[in-house]
Chains A and B, each alone.
Chain A
Amino acid sequence: GIQVEQSPPDLILQEGANSTLRCNFSDSVNNLQWFHQNPWGQLINLFYIPSGTKQNGRLSATTVATERYSLLYISSSQTTDSGVYFCAVDEWSSDYKLSFGAGTTVTVRA
């Protein structure tokens, strides 16, 4: 099956700092999504971004499908950004079965 690798595994930030999270995937995809799992365990949809660039407030994401990676940018981080960020992709031949990366755990300190 498709492999999804996220880096770094852990990230500690001071409030106000910027950061970049990376997701590499091993095959062509129809779907790439970024999620934030908050400290209460809820999965929050951040971006649906199989290609191109999107922005939503302080968050933005870019996917370069031809090179099989995606980046999630967090700017001016806040303590509420803490949690685990997951990248998930489908397989080209199985376009409903999302495979998740192991996640990046982000801790933002006041």
Chain B
Amino acid sequence: NAGVMQNPRHLVRRRGQEARLRCSPMKGHSHVYWYRQLPEEGLKFMVYLQKENIIDESGMPKERFSAEFPKEGPSILRIQQVVRGDSAAYFCASSPRDSDTYEQYFGPGTRLTVT
């Protein structure tokens, strides 16, 4: 069973460009979470999605950031007009959310560098 997959693993964008980060959950998992690891700030929750629904986006910056998890295909975290402060590692996790476990399985992360 393949794990959570994220691509690209490394992404370099100039200020003002758009960044698209992709996450394919583990097979059978329909719940996806995004976390961000900023230097000196640690890992923070951003958003929780189910297929075609955003459940909780309380950790997302109010502007320029959006997330989706369509019926078909991977979850996408989109950052418009990137700034240097967006440079960070972005991790995706997935879970089955059945009654026996709350465990989240993490992907390898995407490292975004804004120049």
The yes or no verdict on A and B being binding partners is yes
Interface on chain A toward B: helix, strand, loop, or mixed SS?
strand
Flag whether A58 is at the interface (Cβ < 8 A): no
Q: How many interface contacts (CB-CB < 8 Å) are there between A and B?
A: 55
Contact: B104 with A33, CB < 8 Å?
yes
Give the size category of B's interface with A: 20 to 34
Contact: B102 with A30, CB < 8 Å?
yes
Query: Could you say which residues of chain A place their CB within 8 Å of the CB of B33?
Result: 96, 98
Q: Contacts A35-B106, A41-B109, A45-B105; is A98 near B42 (CB within 8 Å)? A: no
Interface residues contributed by chain A, number (CB under 8 Å):
23
Flag whether B111 is at the interface (Cβ < 8 A): yes
A interface list, Cβ under 8 A from B = 30-31, 33, 35, 41-43, 45, 48, 50, 86, 88, 90, 94-103
